[in-house]
Amino acid sequence: ATDIADQLSTVLVTEEQIHAKLEELAEQVAADYDGSELLLVGVLKGAVMVMADFSRRLPRHISMDWMAVSSYGAGTKSSGVVQIRKDLDTDLTGKHVLIVEDIIDSGLTLSWLLENFASRGAESVEVLALLRKPEAAKVEIDCRYVGFDIPNDFVVGYGLDYAEKYRNLRDVAVLAPHIYS
Ligand code: PRP
Ligand code: MN
Ligand code: MG
């Protein structure tokens, strides 16, 4: 039970695939924001790996800030009730903001965040998400940069947790059902 491999069903996205995709997305973002200041906002804690690997592929200066919100707690379903655990340090007035997320599942977290940001006077707000689960959407999120659309399985790794575990896995993998059922 301590062997991580026994707790996973399949690897869904490998570290290599993630890095290749982030390279592509970084080129797009660099081109799209050419000449503008850019603030990356990472959503703690899931987005730490994406932020680290994506931001280092941008061949330009950016600013970085973090917001900590949580809607899942220790379960496998989004509660829809989003709590701010840490707010931004940055005033968004006039800024071009790119929210960096690990995954859009139900979409509730980002829908809440986008509404929250709308009142802060940003010049633009876009979203980059490494993963998206189209079948799980409860609200549609206008996400400009998407890494991979994945099936509606509970996935962990590369920042994604189950009860705070598995975030440090290098790949994104499907959690074996016996772990959470
Ligand atoms: C997870 C994930 C996204 C969000 C997506 O965060 O990192 O932020 O859920 O789910 P949704 O689209 O259904 O809202 P979580 O609330 O588990 O906090 P964490 O990032 O600290 O793990
Ligand atoms: Mn998260
Ligand atoms: Mg989580």
| Residue-wise DSSP of 55-89 | HTT-SS--EEEEEEEES-TTSSS--S--EEEE--S
To the query of whether residue 105 is one of the catalytic residues in this protein, the response is yes
Separation of alpha carbons 57 and 24, rounded Å: 9
The verdict on residue 71 lying in a domain is: yes
In the numeric block, the tokens 């924001």 are attached to 33
- The pTM assigned to this predicted structure is 0.95
Residue at 5 is within a domain: no
CATH number of the domain that residue 31 is part of? 3.40.50.2020
Q: What is the dihedral of CA 56, 60, 63, 67, to 10 degrees?
A: -40
Closest-CA residue, ligand 1 atom 3, reads 103
ipTM summary value: 0.98
Q: How far is the CA of 124 from the centre of ligand 1 (A)?
A: 23
Tens of pLDDT along the chain (181 residues) come to 578 889 999 999 999 999 999 999 999 999 999 999 999 999 999 999 999 999 999 999 999 999 999 776 556 666 667 889 999 999 999 999 999 999 999 999 999 999 999 999 999 999 999 999 999 999 999 999 999 999 999 999 999 999 999 999 999 999 999 998 8
Q: Is residue 173 part of a domain?
A: no
| Domain residue limits at 30 | 15-152
- 47 within domain boundaries: yes
Asked if the structure places residue 157 within a domain, the reply is no
Of 152, 150, 139, 60, which is closest to residue 98 (Cα–Cα)? Answer: 60
Which residue in 53, 105, 161, 171 is the catalytic one? 105
